[in-house]
């Protein structure tokens, strides 16, 4: 079951799951010892972790749950230190470090900074100034190092994702990035303005590879992508679907505007002379996203129009009109 969960969900569920057996025995022992206040704190933390686990398992909303877990942990830690004092101040360290595993670096640092101020207020009469200063400096350094590590890790993760979603030859988004974008759009069905798919296929590209070689073919693909990127808008997305087939997701335009846009792209490629003394043209199929339509049906309608453009002699645009879909 965990294999079907995102890594954020797994981390949060495991953290809560490990916290329960770590804290519950202390709560039970203190309950039998008659230390009702500390036992209540421990058992409330356990109950809170259980509630958060159920919430994450059912809703898969990790961001809100992560903030709740961190705040809950921090409040529990401060309550425990307030009741028991210096002897359990060591619980502050894992609590603050855990925040950086759950939240974004800035969010964790903000919550931990507030916790540290509260901790100083709680302990300023219970510890010598030198000891309290040493504790504060240690916690500040721990938070600083954890922040740097978390921030750098997030940046590296982002860069790796960017690389994993780019086609190495053309720099366009790859099939993985395209599928992800399509799922995002379909998940927001009815919540956004018009959006259209344009599927572009370079005509007779195999002949270019056969006649001029694959290195020349690769150069044509790179020039083709550079040409299209110079024309598409910043709100649009551009992907290499496979081979010589590419996709543009055009946001905020209906099928009529998308048809004009596709015709501009077709004409741009025809005039560009991507290969000297050899014509390079493109066929384009266009389809607007229909309300309630899934990604596969949407793509298939555009692909059918691409096939129609090729059957009509290539170097053409064909559009799936909304009323006939």
- Asked if the model's pLDDT at residue 325 lies above 80, the reply is no
What percent of the chain lies above the pLDDT cut of 90? 54
Contacts of 236 (CB under 8 A, 6+ apart): 248, 249, 250, 251
Q: What pLDDT is recorded for position 170?
A: 92
- Asked if the model's pLDDT at residue 291 lies above 90, the reply is no
Domain 175-324 has CATH 3.60.15.10: no
Mean pLDDT, residues 88-114 taken together:
91
Mean pLDDT, residues 201-212 taken together:
94
- Asked if 285 and 308 touch (Cβ cutoff 8 Å), the reply is yes
Mean pLDDT, residues 152-179 taken together:
86
Q: Nearest Cα to 148, choosing from 208, 100, 209, 96? A: 100
Q: What pLDDT is recorded for position 22?
A: 85
Q: What pLDDT is recorded for position 322?
A: 66
- Asked if the model's pLDDT at residue 3 lies above 70, the reply is no
What percent of the chain lies above the pLDDT cut of 70? 96
Give me the long-range contacts of 261-265 (CB less than 8 A, separation at least 24): 261/198, 262/198, 262/286, 262/317, 262/319, 263/317, 264/231, 265/198, 265/200, 265/228, 265/231
Mean pLDDT, residues 56-81 taken together:
85
- CA 99, 105, 106, 112 dihedral sign is positive
Residues of the chain with CATH 3.30.70.270: 175-324
Element (H, E) at 191: none
DSSP 290: P
Contacts of 97 (CB under 8 A, 6+ apart): 142, 146
DSSP string, 82-139: HHH-GGGGGGHHHHHHHHHHHS-HHHHHHHHHHHHHHHHHHHTTTS-HHHHHHHHHHH
- Burial (CB < 10 A; 0-12, 13-18, 19+), residue 34, is exposed
How sure is the predictor about 38, in pLDDT bands with cuts at 50, 70 and 90? Answer: confident
Minimum mean pLDDT range among 54-58, 103-107, 150-154, 171-175: 54-58
Catalytic residue among 244, 245, 296, 323: 244
Instruction: Kindly report the pTM of this predicted structure.
Output: 0.61
| Biggest CA pair distance of the chain | 92
- Backbone φ and ψ of 38, nearest 5°: -70, -35
Describe the crossing of helices 62-84 and 36-59 by its angle, rounded to 10 degrees: 170
Q: What pLDDT is recorded for position 85?
A: 86
- CA 266, 202, 245, 227 dihedral sign is negative
Q: Nearest Cα to 80, choosing from 110, 49, 35, 47? A: 35
Collapse the DSSP code of 201 into the 3-class scheme (helix H, G, I; strand E, B; otherwise coil) and give the result: strand
244 is catalytic: yes
Q: What pLDDT is recorded for position 324?
A: 44
Cα 209 → chain centroid = 37
- Asked if the model's pLDDT at residue 62 lies above 90, the reply is no
Neighbouring CB atoms inside 10 A of 291's CB total 6
Provide the token pair at 246: 């590419």
Mean pLDDT, residues 78-82 taken together:
88
- Asked if the model's pLDDT at residue 53 lies above 60, the reply is yes
- Asked if the model's pLDDT at residue 184 lies above 90, the reply is no
Average pLDDT across the chain, whole number: 89
């Amino acid at each position: 079951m965990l294999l079907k969960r995102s890594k954020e969900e797994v981390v949060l569920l495991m953290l809560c799951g490990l916290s329960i057996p770590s804290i519950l025995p202390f709560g039970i022992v203190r309950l039998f010892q008659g230390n009702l206040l500390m036992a209540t704190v421990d058992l409330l933390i356990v109950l809170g972790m259980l509630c958060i686990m159920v919430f994450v398992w059912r809703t898969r909303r990790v961001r809100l749950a992560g903030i709740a877990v961190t705040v809950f942990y921090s409040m529990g830690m401060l309550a425990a230190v307030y009741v028991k004092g210096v002897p359990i101040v060591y619980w502050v360290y894992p609590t603050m470090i855990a925040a950086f595993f759950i939240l974004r670096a800035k969010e964790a640092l903000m919550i931990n900074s507030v916790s540290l101020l509260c901790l100083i207020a709680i302990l300023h009469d219970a510890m010598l100034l030198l000891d309290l200063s040493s504790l504060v400096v240690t916690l500040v350094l721990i938070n600083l190092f954890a922040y740097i590590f978390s921030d750098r890790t997030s940046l590296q993760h982002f860069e790796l994702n960017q690389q994993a979603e780019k086609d190495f030859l053309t720099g366009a988004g790859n099939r993985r990035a395209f599928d992800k974008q399509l799922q995002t759009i379909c998940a927001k069905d009815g919540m956004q303005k018009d959006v259209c798919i344009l599927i572009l296929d370079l005509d007779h590209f195999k002949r270019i590879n056969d006649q001029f070689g694959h290195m020349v073919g690769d150069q044509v693909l790179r020039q083709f992508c550079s040409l299209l990127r110079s024309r598409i808008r910043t709100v649009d997305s551009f992907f290499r679907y496979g081979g010589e087939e590419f996709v543009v997701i055009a946001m905020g335009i209906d099928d009529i505007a998308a048809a004009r846009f596709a015709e501009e792209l077709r004409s741009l490629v025809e005039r560009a002379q991507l290969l000297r003394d050899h014509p390079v043209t493109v066929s384009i199929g266009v389809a607007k996203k229909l309300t309630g339509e899934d990604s596969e049906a949407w793509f298939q309608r555009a692909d059918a129009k691409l096939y129609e453009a090729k059957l009509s002699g290539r170097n053409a645009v064909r559009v799936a009109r909304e009323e006939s879909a």
